Each structure stands twice: as structure tokens, then as C-alpha cells.
A and B are shown apart, each in its own frame.
Chain A
Amino acid sequence: GENVEQHPSTLSVQEGDSAVIKCTYSDSASNYFPWYKQELGKGPQLIIDIRSNVGEKKDQRIAVTLNKTAKHFSLHITETQPEDSAVYFCAAGDSGTYKYIFGTGTRLKVLA
């Protein structure tokens, strides 16, 4: 079946450094790629998303890049802060049906 691979599973960075999380999807029909941040005991929160007709999108310290040919997309967090520590999930799917396949998650720890 369709799947989304996400790497790394855990990531520790020093405060102020950058963090990069990568995802690869298999369904070439996917046209929408959101990223979610999930804190312990809470539901995921959308932090940024990108559509298939765009190669890059930035929102302050967060950016996402998409390579449709390679079926890769990545999350970049710059100037990391301790409050960025959480589990991050990528997802790929159809923006019309809202049925997304989620990656396996990356536990990010920002060390003060």
C-alpha cells in the first residue's frame, strides 16, 4: 500500500542550531503535504503545509521544501528553541479528500 517514510526517528540539536526532517512518499497522486507538531498527550497541530505546485514555502523559522520528481519533502527549523521540542509528523495526501498518510514521526529534542 501507499506509505510515507520519515527520518530520522529521533533528533537532538543544540538550541540555536537548525533541524531537518525528511519524508518520502510513494503515491504519485499526492498533492498536499502538511507537517504537524504533537506535544505529549495532545493532538497534532498543523505548523506548515505545501502543495504540489510549489517547491518551497517559508513561515518565519520554519520552511518546507518539496521535490515532486523524487517524491521527497523536508521540514527545516532554524534557530531552534527548547519549545520546539516535540514529535513532528509529515503527511501526504489528497487535498480534496483530506485522507492523509502520516509518517512515522520524529522526536525532536532541543537542548538548552
Chain B
Amino acid sequence: GAVVSQHPSRVICKSGTSVKIECRSLDFQATTMFWYRQFPKQSLMLMATSNEGSKATYEQGVEKDKFLINHASLTLSTLTVTSAHPEDSSFYICSADTGISNEKLFFGSGTQLSVL
């Protein structure tokens, strides 16, 4: 199946710094990618839809200036958590639209962000 690579898998940073997470589609082009946030033992919450070559669409309640999304190519979307604070600590996951009718979305392996 299609492969979505997400890096880093784990990051620890100091409060006030910014962290960039990359999501790459390795063997297909993804015009649309999605970013989710998952708290321990909870479900995935969609944060934003990332569209190649255009601005991301954010879900209600998600601060676009806090979570910067860039989708500059058909195989790469990045999520930057700016001026991170401990409450931003979470598991962040991306997914990509494969365009394959039988397999809609493939997910990255996730990034565990810990802000000290």
C-alpha cells in the first residue's frame, strides 16, 4: 500500500521554541493532506486540511497562527507548532489522500511532541 512518512517520530523542546513536523507521501502524489492531534487514550481530532499550493483550511478552534501548515509540493506538507507551550504536548498525525478509490487515506506514524 501507499506509504506516508512522518518525521520526527518524537521531539522534546523547550517552551517558547518552534517545532516543525514533516509529512511525506513516498510513492504517490498527495494534493491533500490532513493533520490531526491525539491526546492519550483519545480519538483523532482533525486540525486542518492541507492543500498543495494553497492555504490550509483549519477546523474550528484551531489557531492558524499557532499551527502553521505549508504544503509546497505534492509530496510534502509541514506542520510548525510556533512558540510551543506545555499544553501543546500531544501526538500529531498526518494523513494523505492517495486518490485510490479503495484506500482513501494513509496515515503517517505520528510525532510525539513534548514541550517542557
A residues with a Cβ closer than 8 A to B are: 32, 34, 36, 41-46, 49, 89, 95, 98-100, 102-105, 107
Contact partners of A45 in chain B: CB under 8 A: 107
User: Does B67 touch A at the CB level, under 8 Å?
Assistant: no
30 residue pairs from A and B, CB less than 8 Å apart? A32-B104, A34-B105, A41-B9, A41-B109, A41-B110, A42-B110, A43-B4, A43-B95, A43-B107, A43-B109, A43-B110, A44-B93, A44-B107, A45-B107, A46-B104, A46-B105, A49-B102, A49-B104, A89-B43, A98-B32, A98-B34, A98-B104, A98-B105, A99-B46, A100-B105, A102-B43, A102-B44, A104-B42, A104-B43, A105-B43
Given contacts A42-B110, A44-B44, A89-B43, contact A34 B104 (CB under 8 A): yes
Residue of B nearest to A93 (CB): B104
